[in-house]
């Protein structure tokens, strides 16, 4: 195999921004959010392994839900640039939509995206693993390469080599962790693999639409 030049470097053009980070105020608000979600589900029972609330979560989620939304909105605002903005005069405001998801054993969420919005965020309130690190429990957040299936239509067995030497994949998985927030562009297809944990997976999903100010 030809040896690369010592001056060669792999430059990843056009990166997709996926940010995973802990919510600093999680410990202060986790209990209130967990209780609110479980109470809402009890009032709206569903025997399927996936339950979703309505998008009125800010109305019943209390101060904890508002604190989470404010934190994420500040983060995505800091990661967004309006190239036509003149000075400090803002041209857009964020319109947020929030809802809760609860998965029990075998629950999953199909791949989807959110057209018409700019950013999506998911905060894991309870990963449902109960401290079990077994990767066979599933339940990972899945992202699909936006170039798929074009990158696999001609010779599917051929892959580009990544910077660490591994083969490129068309799917990326992130294991859920209580207190973790994941933020990404709303056009990115994503879902959740079948969940096999012993508890319930509780999460809050958010989308942010940029509305032009008049």
Domains identified in the chain, total number: 1
What's the domain range around 189? 19-78+95-152+166-212
**Tens place of pLDDT per residue across the chain (214 aa):** 566 667 778 787 888 999 999 999 999 999 999 999 999 999 988 889 999 999 999 999 999 999 999 999 999 999 999 988 888 889 999 999 999 999 999 999 999 999 999 999 999 999 999 999 999 999 999 999 988 877 777 788 888 888 888 888 889 999 999 999 999 999 999 999 999 999 999 999 999 999 999 8
Determine, yes or no, domain membership for 11: no
Q: Is residue 101 part of a domain?
A: yes
In degrees rounded to 5, what are phi and psi of residue 148? -75, 140
> Parallel, antiparallel, or unpaired: how do β-strands 92-103 and 201-212 relate?
antiparallel
Indicate whether 90 belongs to any domain. no
Query: pLDDT tens-digit profile of 42-74?
Result: 998 888 999 999 999 999 999 999 999 999 999
**Residue 15 burial by CB count (10 A; 0-12/13-18/19+): exposed, middle or buried?**
exposed
Q: For residue 147, what is the domain's CATH number?
A: 2.60.120.620
Please tell me the distance from the alpha carbon of residue 71 to that of residue 67, in angstroms, as a whole number.
6
**Residue recorded with tokens 């562009």:** 185
Inside any domain, residue 3? no
- Helix/strand/coil for 210: strand
How far lies 189's CA from each of 1, 34, 135, in Å? Answer: 36, 27, 22
Examine residue 88 and state whether it is found in any structural domain, yes or no: no
Collapsing DSSP to helix, strand or coil, 53 comes out as coil
pTM of the model: 0.90
Question: pLDDT tens across 99-116, in order?
Answer: 999 999 999 999 999 999
């Amino acid at each position: 195999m030809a040896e690369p030049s010592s001056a060669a470097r792999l430059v990843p053009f056009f990166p997709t921004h996926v940010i995973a980070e802990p919510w600093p105020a999680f410990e202060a608000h986790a209990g209130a959010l967990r209780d609110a979600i479980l109470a809402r589900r009890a009032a709206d029972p569903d025997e399927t392994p996936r339950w979703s609330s309505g998008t009125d979560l800010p109305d019943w989620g209390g101060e904890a839900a508002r604190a989470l939304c404010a934190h994420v909105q500040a983060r995505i605002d800091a990661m967004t640039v309006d190239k036509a903005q003149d000075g400090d005069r803002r041209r857009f405001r964020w319109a947020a939509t929030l809802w809760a998801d609860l998965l029990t054993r075998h629950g999953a969420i199909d791949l989807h995206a959110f057209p018409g919005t700019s950013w999506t965020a998911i905060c894991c309130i309870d990963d449902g693993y109960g401290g079990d690190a077994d990767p066979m429990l599933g339940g990972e957040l899945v992202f699909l390469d936006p170039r798929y299936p074009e990158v696999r239509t001609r010779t599917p067995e051929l892959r580009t080599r990544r910077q660490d030497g591994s083969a490129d994949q068309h799917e990326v998985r992130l294991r859920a962790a209580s207190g973790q927030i994941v933020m990404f562009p709303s056009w990115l297809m994503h879902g959740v693999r079948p969940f096999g944990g012993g508890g319930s997976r509780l999460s809050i999903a958010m989308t942010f639409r940029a509305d032009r100010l008049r």
